[in-house]
Amino acid sequence: MPASMTLSDWLISLEGTEQGHTVALILALSAAFLHAVFGALQKGRHDPWLSRGAIDASYGLMAMPIALFVVPWPEPHMWPVFAGAFIIHLGYKLLQAFAYTKGAYTVVYPVVRGTGPLFAVFGAYLIFGETFNGVQWFGVLILLCGIFGLAAYNYFFLVTDRTTLVSALCLAFATGLFVALYTTYDAYGIRATADPFTFLAWFFFIDGIAIPPIAYTHYKRMQNPPSLPPLALRGFIGGLIAFASFGSIMLATRLDKVGEAAILRETSTVFAALIGWLVLKETVGPRRIALMALIALGAVIVEFAG
């Protein structure tokens, strides 16, 4: 990158190029891993509402000075775009928190991530005119079989309390629809402004407003509220991960095809299963390994058949 070229200029110069395709691939896979870590943080030992509130407050506060004093201010036509993004992401976060409250992380997460890319591919076709060839659709089918197979396996063999799982699965499906909605909408938003980092900074600043008051109300109503310092630390770490994860996938959708980026991100299900095994001490047997291999294989087919 030339010394006189800013990071924004460099990224914009990569749009539609082979190098841009490679950078988008790296960003999408990075987003997949980081999103799995982000999901585990929200579903960890803290209440999902409190975790989400701490994370949103952290990245909102971190983004505020960048939005106000570092990046160029948004163009006038961007304010309605930010309003739409705020509403869509609020719906997504509310549904996700309800889903995590009702069901096991290992069941809810694959359903969310399996529903999202399928509808994101259709959204990318309707909004951006992107198309997949027959081999890529075969890859999508393999990936979805792996993701939903993983959810089914977890449902039947790893979960003992199923009293609220039906409602959790319905919420997870609805959350997946919102994943597709925000993926395509954010891709539109980050392409609508001249500087992609303007969109990112203002998105995180505005997006961090809604959930913290809800989380605070929830905290005040708890009979045994958790200690605040560990929750604040989790929020800070989660905020940094959110910057890297959501920022990576948004940049990937500006550089290359939205549908392919959405599919590659869903390898996060593989990373989530590994995190569940290594960190949350959940069982991972040969069947789950085979299903995770299907997810990875499907993503590889989509990427290299394009």
Those residues with Cβ within 8 angstroms of residue 174's Cβ, 6 or more apart along the chain or in another chain: 95
CA distances in angstroms from 113 to 35, 118, 141, 148, 282, listed in the order given? 10, 9, 14, 9, 19
Residue-level pLDDT, tens digit, the chain, 306 residues: 544 458 888 888 888 899 998 999 999 989 888 888 877 766 656 677 888 899 999 999 999 999 999 999 999 999 999 999 999 999 998 998 888 778 777 778 778 877 887 788 888 888 888 888 889 899 889 988 888 887 788 777 766 666 777 788 889 889 989 988 999 999 999 999 999 999 999 999 999 999 999 999 999 998 888 888 988 998 999 899 989 998 999 999 999 888 888 888 878 877 877 777 777 666 667 787 788 788 888 888 888 886
Q: According to the model, what pLDDT value does residue 45 have?
A: 61
- 153: three-class secondary structure by DSSP: helix
pTM (predicted TM-score): 0.84
Q: According to the model, what pLDDT value does residue 239 have?
A: 92
Q: According to the model, what pLDDT value does residue 46 have?
A: 63
What is the distance between the alpha carbons of residues 149 and 263, in angstroms, rounded to a whole number?
16
Q: According to the model, what pLDDT value does residue 3 have?
A: 45
Largest CA distance in the chain: 60
